[in-house]
């Protein structure tokens, strides 16, 4: 612990940290000493001194002094332990998966605070609380993620790099139900479904990851493939745990490879939309899967339906089961 502390302080010198926080200072003429306005109390004449060699500060105005950890405790009103966590994040190499994980956890906490979010889920037929937790469904109200993550010590650079915050500095996801997208069990993206008037589907920059929950689905000899997360949620809720989701009708290379990783039957259950695009995509995919010796069945929902609307409008597990049995080969 003591040793880690020393390493942390070496990795992130006090003076560097203060400069990152926009502290401006001038050398006092004593070589390693700098002076500037105190960040801890209001003053007009500089009385905050930093000794760069000793890595310590002292303010003659408010009498506070100490090392980097002490400075973070005082300036951010954190405990010793919280300050350490904060500083470790500040000085660690940027890890997009970690920040996406934090964002997803934050969004999950918001779900209960916004009645409109739960109402939307209800409207899409998603009611089972265990399932909501299992799929890590969250809600992005918009306007509060950036502050939350900055306070945790993540840099604005990293937030913008992951796309959580847009180039203008605002939360990217706004009034959207949020699902994490994973690759090898790490979150690589977030998918947000608008509950308002904004464009329905939104991903952050970057890859959309694996087939959803593939680790638990791949063991089944036959799987149901759907294009949307709300399709998946209602199918799981109805007991069809061998359903997975490609988040759109176009499978990326990894998702396609996953479907082909052993002999199985794939029930393609894409939307039956008026322009026929869902079924066209299903036919194209069936063709490519058959070339890999995968048995395919095309499930035909009633016109105008996707699996979600089928269940929301009163369809039940028994009826969906008959659709699977009648699926076209």
Binding site for Zn ion (CB under 5 A): 38, 40-41, 59, 61-62
Q: Which is nearer to Zn ion, 61 or 206 (CB)?
A: 61
Least distance between Zn ion and beta carbon 79 (Å): 21
CA torsion sign, 201 to 203 to 207 to 208? negative
Q: Which is nearer to Zn ion, 58 or 256 (CB)?
A: 58
Least distance between Zn ion and beta carbon 1 (Å): 29
Angstrom distance (rounded) from CA 280 to CA 62:
71
Within 12-114, residue ranges assigned H as helices are 14-20, 68-76, 80-91, 96-110
What are the tokens at 320? 């969906």
Q: Which is nearer to Zn ion, 58 or 114 (CB)?
A: 58
Least distance between Zn ion and beta carbon 104 (Å): 39
Q: Which is nearer to Zn ion, 67 or 88 (CB)?
A: 67
Within the chain, residue ranges assigned H as helices are 2-11, 14-20, 68-76, 80-91, 96-110, 115-123, 129-134, 145-151, 156-161, 214-217, 229-237, 253-259, 277-290, 307-312, 317-325
Give the residue among 302, 299, 327, 296 at the shortest CA–CA distance from 314.
302
Q: Which residue reads 């500089």 in tokens?
A: 46
Helices (H) and strands (E) in the chain, counts: 15, 13
Q: Which is nearer to Zn ion, 24 or 85 (CB)?
A: 24
Strands of the sheet with 243-245, listed across from one edge: 243-245, 222-226, 265-268, 295-298
Q: 62 in helix, strand or coil?
A: coil
Least distance between Zn ion and beta carbon 30 (Å): 19
Q: Which is nearer to Zn ion, 18 or 165 (CB)?
A: 18
Q: 126 in helix, strand or coil?
A: coil
Q: Which is nearer to Zn ion, 40 or 92 (CB)?
A: 40
Least distance between Zn ion and beta carbon 153 (Å): 23
Q: Are 161 and 94 in contact (CB under 8 A)?
A: yes
Q: Which is nearer to Zn ion, 42 or 274 (CB)?
A: 42
Least distance between Zn ion and beta carbon 58 (Å): 9
The H-or-E segment that residue 297 falls in is strand 295-298
Least distance between Zn ion and beta carbon 43 (Å): 7
Least distance between Zn ion and beta carbon 87 (Å): 21
For residue 136, what are the contacts with CB-CB under 8 A and spacing of at least 6? Answer: 104, 108, 179, 180
């Amino acid at each position: 612990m003591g040793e880690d502390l020393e390493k942390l302080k070496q990795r992130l010198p006090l003076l560097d940290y203060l400069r990152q926080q926009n502290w401006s200072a001038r050398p006092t003429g004593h070589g390693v000493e700098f002076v500037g306005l105190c960040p801890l109390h209001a003053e007009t004449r500089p009385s905050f001194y930093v000794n760069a060699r000793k890595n310590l500060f002292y303010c003659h105005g408010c009498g506070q002094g100490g090392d980097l950890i002490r400075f973070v405790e005082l300036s951010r009103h954190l405990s010793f332990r919280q300050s350490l966590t904060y500083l470790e994040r500040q000085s660690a190499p940027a890890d997009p998966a970690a920040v996406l994980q934090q964002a997803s956890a934050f969004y999950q906490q918001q779900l209960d605070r916004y009645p409109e979010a739960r109402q939307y889920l209800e409207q899409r037929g998603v009611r089972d609380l265990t399932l909501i937790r299992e799929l890590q469904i969250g809600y992005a109200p918009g306007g509060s993620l950036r502050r939350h993550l900055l306070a945790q010590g993540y840099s604005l650079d990293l937030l913008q790099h992951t796309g959580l915050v847009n180039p203008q500095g605002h939360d990217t996801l706004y009034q959207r139900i949020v699902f994490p997208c994973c690759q090898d069990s790490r979150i690589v993206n977030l998918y947000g479904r608008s509950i308002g008037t904004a464009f329905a589907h939104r991903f952050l920059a970057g890859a959309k990851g694996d087939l959803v929950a593939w680790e638990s689905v791949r063991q089944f000899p036959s799987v149901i493939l759907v294009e949307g997360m709300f399709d998946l949620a209602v199918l799981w809720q109805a007991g069809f745990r061998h359903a997975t989701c490609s988040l759109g009708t176009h499978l990326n290379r990894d998702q396609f490879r996953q479907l082909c990783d052993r002999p199985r039957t794939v029930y393609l259950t894409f939307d039956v939309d008026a322009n026929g695009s869902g079924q066209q995509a299903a036919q194209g995919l069936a063709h490519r899967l058959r070339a890999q010796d995968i048995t395919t069945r095309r499930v035909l929902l009633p016109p105008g339906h996707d699996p979600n609307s089928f269940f929301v409008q009163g369809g039940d597990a028994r009826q969906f089961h008959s659709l699977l049995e009648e699926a076209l080969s």
